[in-house]
Structure 1
Amino acid sequence: MATVILVRHGRSTANATGVLAGRRRGVKLDETGRDQAARAGERLAGVRLAAIVTSPLERCRQTAAAVAQAQPTPPTTIQERGITECDYGEWQGRLLKDLAKEKLWGTVQSLPSAAAFPGGESLDAMQSRAVAAVRRHDATFEQEHGPGAVWVAVSHGDIIKSVLADALGMHLDLFQRLHVDPASISVIRYTSSRPYVLATNTHAGDLAWLAPSPPAGGRSRRSRSAAGHPDDAVVGGGAGPDTRPARP
């Protein structure tokens, strides 16, 4: 029952100028994006991370570095092509205001499962490889670090939206209902029963509550609150995590 924290990269130079960056090289965080990445790292400083997995693109690597720097002991950082940006093909590098005039734009908005970018990949293929990569790493970190493992995946807006849609059981055609801002944090916990989406598109707040609770009487706070199998959904919503400051 590991937990993945999905972090979108901070605002990039392309985001700030309305350009669809895609996989173009040389797209970095702007000043605002660097500040956003630092704040994301601060929010995660109280969570001991098993690892950071990042898209190979520079804006994500910069964001991953900011998250790692805020950790008391920086974790291993792994580059993963499976969560790299969608291959937008011929759309890459063009202004969004011009792309909005294309016929394909309407398909991307209302029927994403049928959208394939000229010279690039389909949104369906993008989701398949991203979900597969996230679930593979999640299983590996749980096996290596135990069920309380928490790790970070630093990726891109459409990638994170597609992973969230899968976890929510949403058809890809509904994934545009989700919103993922630069440097926002979303959280998924995969279990043997189902994925649990714990947060989406959050911008503020300490996330230390994601750290596993210390055992008390041989059972963790989380397992006690479930009053059954720890992967079950609690009828009525349950008591949630204990967010009180730790006693000295």
Structure 2
Amino acid sequence: MQIYFVRHGQTQYNLEQRFQGGRVDSPLLTSGIRGAQQAGAYLADVHFARVYSSPQKRALDTAAYITAANRWHPQIKLAPNLREMDFGDWDGQLEKDVQPQAQLEIVVHHPDQYRPELAGGGESYPQFVARITQAVHAAVAEVGVDSTRPLLIVSHGLVTTMSIKALLGVSIADIRKPLVINGQELPTVGYGIVDNDSLTVVETLDNRHFEIKTWNETGYLKPAKS
């Protein structure tokens, strides 16, 4: 079966470079709504077996725009384990303002060394990765690996990127680095994360082994007309 992953549309916190984890939400910007609608138009003829979304509003709104454009108008099932990574008191703060800055350097460059108790609290990377990969495995099991129809997961930058990397066997130490497949570095928006409103497609035949079929596709996203 194939799993379609879509990251939510752009928010004000994205623009301001604030931590936007599991405890906070920033509404979709006009550009984020437009991107979600364009993603929906691109996926309009895909007959999904099921649609799962993070319960956070930015992801759920994105999922709603996508399903509204889909010819089958599928229902959205909330999956609490698809919430974004919990950064504790750092959530909502500007990245440049969080303390201690040494932990900020670690959180983006040395995830295996990150200690949330020395930062804003929240989740460690192992805790986060275990939670989100469990959510993906559960979704696949619920639909069934023999399904000829794909499932759709709408969530967040870290959830999307790190669940896929972990399912591919990437270690926590390397989970923030860009993916390299067949000697080619796959494009990201920064720190190894996929773009807003992007589509990544992964395939599995047994819910244990996973293969990327499409990575960080944004070709359907068009700028607003001036």
TM-score under structure 2 length normalisation:
0.83
The one of 191, 206, 217 equivalent to 2:205 is: 191
Q: 3-state DSSP class of the match of 1:173?
A: helix
Q: 3-state DSSP class of the match of 1:20?
A: coil
Q: Paired residue for 2:115?
A: 116
* Distance in 2 (alpha carbons) for counterparts of 1:74 and 1:46: 10
* Distance in 2 (alpha carbons) for counterparts of 1:175 and 1:195: 16
TM-score under structure 1 length normalisation:
0.76
Q: 3-state DSSP class of the match of 1:164?
A: helix
- Unmatched 5+ stretches in structure 1: 207-248
Superposed CA offset, 1:61-116 (max 9, x none) = 11000110111111121111111011100111110222397111221123212323
Q: 3-state DSSP class of the match of 1:53?
A: strand
Q: Paired residue for 1:69?
A: 68
Whether 1:13 and 2:12 are equivalent positions in the alignment is yes
AA aligned to 1:182 is N
Deviation at 1:42, TM superposition (A): 1.2
Q: In the alignment, is the contact (CA less than 8 A) between 1:43 and 1:204 conserved in 2?
A: no
Change (3 A) 1:79 1:116: farther
Superposed CA offset, 1:108-130 (max 9, x none) = 12321232333211111111110
* Distance in 1 (alpha carbons) for counterparts of 2:144 and 2:123: 31
* Distance in 2 (alpha carbons) for counterparts of 1:41 and 1:116: 38
Once the two structures are superposed, the pairs formed by residues 31-50 of structure 1 within 5 Å of their partners are 31-50=30-49
Q: In the alignment, is the contact (CA less than 8 A) between 1:167 and 1:188 conserved in 2?
A: no
* Distance in 1 (alpha carbons) for counterparts of 2:24 and 2:200: 26
Which of the two has higher C-alpha Rg?
1
Q: Aligned-residue CA RMSD in angstroms?
A: 1.9
Q: Paired residue for 1:136?
A: 138
Superposed CA offset, 1:155-200 (max 9, x none) = 1111111111123221122122233111111111122372111122
Once the two structures are superposed, the pairs formed by residues 80-229 of structure 1 within 5 Å of their partners are 80-99=79-98, 102-117=101-116, 118-142=120-144, 146-176=146-176, 177=178, 178-192=192-206, 194-204=209-219
Change (3 A) 1:97 1:42: same
Change (3 A) 1:122 1:180: same
AA aligned to 2:142 is T
- Between Structure 1 and Structure 2, how many residues are aligned? 203
Q: Paired residue for 2:184?
A: none
Identity of aligned residues (%): 26
Q: In the alignment, is the contact (CA less than 8 A) between 2:7 and 2:155 conserved in 1?
A: yes
Q: In the alignment, is the contact (CA less than 8 A) between 1:142 and 1:149 conserved in 2?
A: no
Deviates more, 1:196-205 or 1:53-62: 196-205
AA aligned to 2:171 is H
* Distance in 1 (alpha carbons) for counterparts of 2:153 and 2:79: 9
* Distance in 2 (alpha carbons) for counterparts of 1:20 and 1:9: 15
* Distance in 1 (alpha carbons) for counterparts of 2:156 and 2:115: 18
Q: Paired residue for 2:182?
A: none
* Distance in 2 (alpha carbons) for counterparts of 1:75 and 1:134: 19
Q: In the alignment, is the contact (CA less than 8 A) between 2:38 and 2:220 conserved in 1?
A: no
Q: In the alignment, is the contact (CA less than 8 A) between 2:24 and 2:91 conserved in 1?
A: no
Change (3 A) 1:57 1:17: same
* Distance in 2 (alpha carbons) for counterparts of 1:5 and 1:61: 15
* Distance in 2 (alpha carbons) for counterparts of 1:40 and 1:115: 34
Q: In the alignment, is the contact (CA less than 8 A) between 2:202 and 2:213 conserved in 1?
A: yes
Q: In the alignment, is the contact (CA less than 8 A) between 2:23 and 2:86 conserved in 1?
A: no
Change (3 A) 1:114 1:75: same
